[in-house]
Structures are given as structure tokens and as C-alpha cells.
Structure 1
């Protein structure tokens, strides 16, 4: 089961990082509407969501929702997002996978997928074809 989780996580990481890299750095401040996050804010939220879910669902440590300051540019945001995936990967590697861990893992993936779908829409709004989805 652990190998399957890690494989699924790697797929999510690769596709998410490809989506992040597809947006030109100059367009990271893009917002499709004034009521939405910027592309940069959205990716930062994905990253923080990964670490928050990791704390609460995988490590089973109660963590309040208290995101750090948003990263300032494409390079910093992509580095932050990559590190968040690394943190989750290390936790999965070290943790015995029981039903609660598996449920938390898939809740985390659901959150990533939800916001990554928004990010692909942001790409299209900027005339960028999203990377091909791989499964």
C-alpha cells in the first residue's frame, strides 16, 4: 500500500509542478477576477494545504490553519510547493499506513486536485495550454 501511495503522490507532484512551470513567471500575479486568488497565491495555498494535511492527517498532530506569508515570485513559489511535496513524501515513507492515514492521504490529494484544476483554468485564461494530464 505504501508503494502505491508514494507512486500516486509522485504523479500528483509531477503534474502539479508542470502546471506551476507552465505559467510564465511574469503572469504569477494574474487573477481571473478580483474576488479570486492570484495564480501565485493559489499555488502557495496548495503547498500550505499539503503541509497542514500532513500535520493533521498523516502525523496526527493538531495544527491550526496558520499559513506562512505568501511567497513572492514564481521561483520561490515553485520551490515552496516542491518542498511541501517532499515533506509529505517523507512522512508517508516513515509512517505505517492504516485506514486513517490512507483516508488523510486521499483527502490531501483531493485538495491538491481541486485547486490544481483552478490553476489550469488560470493558465487557459492567459492563453497557455495546460500540460498534458498523466495518470
Structure 2
């Protein structure tokens, strides 16, 4: 499949997910097939994201884990510990269980188990979600725009988007080191 067609399909997938959310956002009564379908689709996409994130992680040689393109940006290792702590925060919002502090290491063998545990923690919180409770705006979070109420759906989208964002940065770091990144998964 060529790159342009792949990007087009990614855009269509986002539109379909958004259409499902907007069609359900005004009606939050009861569990429907649509809610279950969303959860199944999200879980499948999440699994692809998880696999690709660890493929990108594995592609960087251990000796380059401290690599930072500039002083203002996170190191390669920090991108992944940041993904991990963020997943932990999102899980905390979803299930109320306290998060674990972010580690400070540029060692590949230290960051890996931390990242694996944080993915597992988020996925445990995901499994506990009730599909009929996706769109209730019950999570009051402070943002740069003030306090906003978020739904479980919003938290899932934040987790997905945030992980993709930093995995994309890591892919650029690989290219800066003349490493061909693993092929994208969806």
C-alpha cells in the first residue's frame, strides 16, 4: 500500500471514530452495540499502537538511548518514560488507583520494564470500563483553558493521541540517527 493511501485511510479511521462519538455523545443512556463496537475497535487499534511503540523503542541501540536532538527536547529514553507515566495518569483517572512516579533513566533495560508495566496498567483500566459509561463527563481536570469535564471516551482519545505523538517523535529520532524505523502498524 502506498504512503498517500495509508495516510488517507488513517484519516478516515479517525473520522469514523469521531462520528461514532458525536452520534452517541448526546445520548448516554444504556449500553448499545455501538458502544461495544467502539470499545472493540479501540482495543484493536490500541494493540497495534502498543506493538509499534515497542518496535520503535527496540530499534534504537542502547548506546543511543540518551540521544536528544536539541537541549530543549526530551531524550529518546525520556520520550518512553513520559509515555509510561502519562498512561499511568490516564489509568488513574479511569479507575481511581494511584499512579507510579516516572523513572529517570536513559538505560534501555531500565526503561523497558517500566514502559511495559505502564501499558499493562492502562490496559487493565481499559478492561474495567463499562461501555455504557463512555460519554458521561465525570472527570474534572484542570487544563490550560481552565477546568473541563472529560468523559472516559475523552480520556481514551487523550491516551491514544498522546502515545502516538511521542512515538512519532521517537521515530524522527531514529531517522536522525540514520535508523530506518519499523514499518507503521494500524
TM-score by length of 1: 0.88
5 Å-filtered alignment, 1:7-86, equals 7-56=44-93, 58-59=94-95, 61=96, 67-86=101-120
1:78 alignment partner, SS class: helix
Which piece of structure 1 moves more, 100-109 or 67-76?
67-76
Pairwise CA distance, 1:12: 1.0
> Number of aligned pairs?
132
- 1:87 paired with 2:121, answer yes
Taking CA–CA contacts closer than 8 Å with sequence separation of 6 or more, which of the two structures ends up with the larger relative contact order? Answer: 1
Q: Tell me the equivalent position of 1:5.
A: 42
Deviations 1:42-81 (A, max 9, x none): 110011111111212x22x4979x8433234112212211
What is the distance in 1 between the residues matched to 2:168 and 2:80? 11
Moved over 6 A (4+): none
Structure with the greater alpha carbon radius of gyration:
2
Pairwise CA distance, 1:101: 1.6
Aligned pair partner of 2:130 in 96, 99, 110? 96
Structure with more of its chain in strand, by fraction: 2
Unaligned runs of 5+ in 2: 1-35, 136-150
CA RMSD in angstroms comes to 1.9
Unaligned runs of 5+ in 1: none
Q: Tell me the equivalent position of 1:131.
A: 182
Pairwise CA distance, 1:13: 0.5
What is the distance in 1 between the residues matched to 2:185 and 2:50? 11
